[in-house]
Structure 1
């Protein structure tokens, strides 16, 4: 029997409690690749999904079956054929897809029916409902290629799915759709999950994939994972990337995240199935583990321009007046405007911060972090901090630091540590105001 240590378990459980409260009653659509099932990840994934279900999250699960169909074809002496990243489904491939889908549905339902003592599934009651929720149409002939029985989602019966998940059941969708004439079409899991998330206006769309997420630098396969992309950033990246053909191509899942956010899903995620518990880590930890694409709607997180100087001055002036911030004149802000990041809503600036690099010390100072009183406690400060961290990493910096007299605890909660002023780069030490006695806090970026 394993030991539970209160000094670690209790703080951890309290830490995740806000996420449990926030997600109860929310709707998640989860896309599970066939590769994850082939890699033996199904049971652990089902256990994690059952935990989400138990805390009141409404779940729709769409599964894929690429490797399983390929295996069925190989058993019949056939090979898989693809074009533009999509399977060409002839009559034999359609039979193989139907066989694979039936087998996987059986395995998934069996996994959710487990209830052995001393396992995460003990006392779990997860009712799984499947059905003809998807209307499909043929892909047709594209660039001279006849995709035959391959299709795309035409319509999702969102009302029927909503009734099922509202009753406490979990809906399982196989990548098959049917035409009004009863013809079956082989779909992709990504299309099914995305169309369903949009139809339900789901709170999250999560893909469990072969890739760890989106790298911060596309030319460096070892660079860190970009944990958050705005919809605008994701669109720009898609334009810059070559057309994705394989699931391991950067844009393969990203294109579906963009489509979902454009359709009204606020957050879409790309997670690695190779990491045990990736789903739980993404949902219940602040930074997550994969990449999240966020639809910022009317809000815009962007770098400042000369036109924003007046708005920044208006935002920070009350904090300068009460002594929370050091006063900065207009000339200084105009001169350094490229260093500023801001959040605006309907053209009004609600938050800002600036990054001043010290390249010789591989660090940078974040200053003027300000959020309007009307927008506080909504996460804007954290979003600005995350963007400043991204800018610092892109500049090759290893850390960022702040000087503060009143907000030390806010920064400590977000990974900063207090250091002696002697830690500061030499150039910054010369400007340190000993009379103000500001605390120096540093956050490592590795």
Structure 2
């Protein structure tokens, strides 16, 4: 029994280690929907956040309280009113929001204070500090609707939040802000989390939500393997958002997506939408390669693009050492020049640091990814994975169902990223005719 455990635990722990190193010292802003707390998920989420913090991540937690406020209103015989997807906060609703926020902060602080033996919180010390970090202004009157005590973020005290994080504490924020005259405003969790992430230039903005993520091809039937898009480039996210009606409720596709797009455009590189219904979704998203939710990412930040003729020299210079040692099959300049528009490159400061080519076989609903190369200077920084994701998106856009690679030395890298080995006879007929049986390349396939 213990031997089996060792064989499963050790490779798993080793595979997680690079992500632990990558995220140490980074800042995550986590927006926790009030529905997650109402669903009884707080205890496990608190344990996961404590674990992430223990591995060197600085965390700002912004809680929502939509269902809790509605519960308080119902107890007072008062109806919850919304417009434009925002609560209309009258005096009764403001009182209810303050009561709900006080109760929730008590519950959240209690959840982070538990250190029972034989639990994930054993031996942990999580200092949770709150403060008046948000200056707010009223929403005012929009399209004839007076939003009363509902507000918008005017300013974030980023310096104060950073000092608190540097002290080693987790910052807890309620969706409240105050005007310079001391007037309280009810804000939305989503706007507070987004504004804080932008002000801090956080490394991640993460929403724990009622939805599993985003599907850009909503017209297509869902597959059990991939019901959502795990990575959504900013331009695709913007196009999707432009095609959707203004969101009215949290389950609308545009509701969280609009905030991810806003943060991404303002410099927050990674923006995630995760389902709170899946136990451990935070850990799976942060420490597992493909994650479990949708991540909106600005590919321009990665200098990831399709190649042009001006890149031929850089590609040749990049792949030549790998051709010389036999890792790659040799390609001459004429072949690369002919196929240049099949290539994707990663460029930093005018230098090509990575590339790959995509050769489609539409009749077989598949494509070959060839010449995947990353400079030794930038290996282990994720460029290979970014190129792979970009190639997958290109193949998906062509309506293909899989991609395949031929390799003699890098099988394990591909296996870790969802590829499976198949017999060379699997290859499309046109590719099989060009297969070099003397080289004995392994054939690996990934469904997309």
Of 28-37 and 420-429, the range deviating more from structure 2? 420-429
Residues 352, 368 of structure 1: 8 Å contact kept: yes
Distance 1:48 1:57 in 2: 12
- 1:173-193 Cα deviation digits (max 9, x unpaired): 000000010100000001111
| Counterpart in the other structure of 1:33 | 33
| Counterpart in the other structure of 1:62 | 62
Distance 2:441 2:127 in 1: 54
| Counterpart in the other structure of 2:267 | 264
| Counterpart in the other structure of 1:433 | 436
Matched, 1:359 2:362: yes
| Counterpart in the other structure of 1:180 | 180
- 1:270-304 Cα deviation digits (max 9, x unpaired): 11101000001111111111112224455332334
Residues 351, 380 of structure 1: 8 Å contact kept: yes
Alignment of 1:298-313 (within 5 A): 298-304=301-307, 312=315
Distance change >3 Å, CA 312–CA 218, structure 1 → 2: farther
Of 348-357 and 208-217, the range deviating more from structure 2? 348-357
Distance change >3 Å, CA 115–CA 378, structure 1 → 2: closer
Matched, 1:246 2:249: yes
- 1:129-163 Cα deviation digits (max 9, x unpaired): 11211110111112222111111111111222222
Q: Cα distance, 1:340 vs. partner?
A: 3.0
- 1:375-400 Cα deviation digits (max 9, x unpaired): 43322111111122233334443332
What is the TM-score normalised by the length of structure 2? 0.90
Q: Cα distance, 1:208 vs. partner?
A: 0.3
Q: Secondary structure at the match of 1:5?
A: helix
Matched, 1:236 2:239: yes
| Counterpart in the other structure of 1:293 | 296
Residues 406, 444 of structure 2: 8 Å contact kept: no
| Counterpart in the other structure of 1:131 | 131
Of 106-115 and 366-375, the range deviating more from structure 2? 366-375
Of 418-427 and 309-318, the range deviating more from structure 2? 309-318
Residues 299, 346 of structure 1: 8 Å contact kept: no
Distance 1:221 1:69 in 2: 36
Distance 1:322 1:387 in 2: 27
Distance 2:272 2:44 in 1: 19
Unpaired runs of 5+ residues, structure 2, are: none
Q: Cα distance, 1:265 vs. partner?
A: 2.1
Matched, 1:405 2:408: yes
Distance 1:3 1:42 in 2: 34
Of 318-327 and 277-286, the range deviating more from structure 2? 318-327
| Counterpart in the other structure of 2:80 | 80
Q: Cα distance, 1:331 vs. partner?
A: 5.8
Q: Secondary structure at the match of 1:96?
A: helix
| Counterpart in the other structure of 1:105 | 105
Of 377-386 and 42-51, the range deviating more from structure 2? 377-386
Counterpart selection for 1:276 from 274, 279, 283: 279
* Count of residues in Structure 1 that have an aligned counterpart in Structure 2: 444
Of 366-375 and 157-166, the range deviating more from structure 2? 366-375
| Counterpart in the other structure of 2:164 | 164
| Counterpart in the other structure of 1:9 | 9
- 1:384-441 Cα deviation digits (max 9, x unpaired): 1112223333444333211233433433343334333222222211121234x14132
Residues 408, 439 of structure 1: 8 Å contact kept: no
Q: Cα distance, 1:199 vs. partner?
A: 2.0
- 1:299-324 Cα deviation digits (max 9, x unpaired): 33233456655655565455556654
Distance change >3 Å, CA 351–CA 240, structure 1 → 2: farther
Residues 156, 199 of structure 2: 8 Å contact kept: yes
Q: Secondary structure at the match of 1:6?
A: helix
| Counterpart in the other structure of 2:426 | 423
Unpaired runs of 5+ residues, structure 1, are: none
Of 217-226 and 283-292, the range deviating more from structure 2? 217-226
| Counterpart in the other structure of 2:200 | 200
Distance change >3 Å, CA 18–CA 348, structure 1 → 2: closer
Distance change >3 Å, CA 54–CA 372, structure 1 → 2: closer
What is the TM-score normalised by the length of structure 1? 0.91
Distance 1:341 1:323 in 2: 22
| Counterpart in the other structure of 1:443 | 445
| Counterpart in the other structure of 2:417 | 414
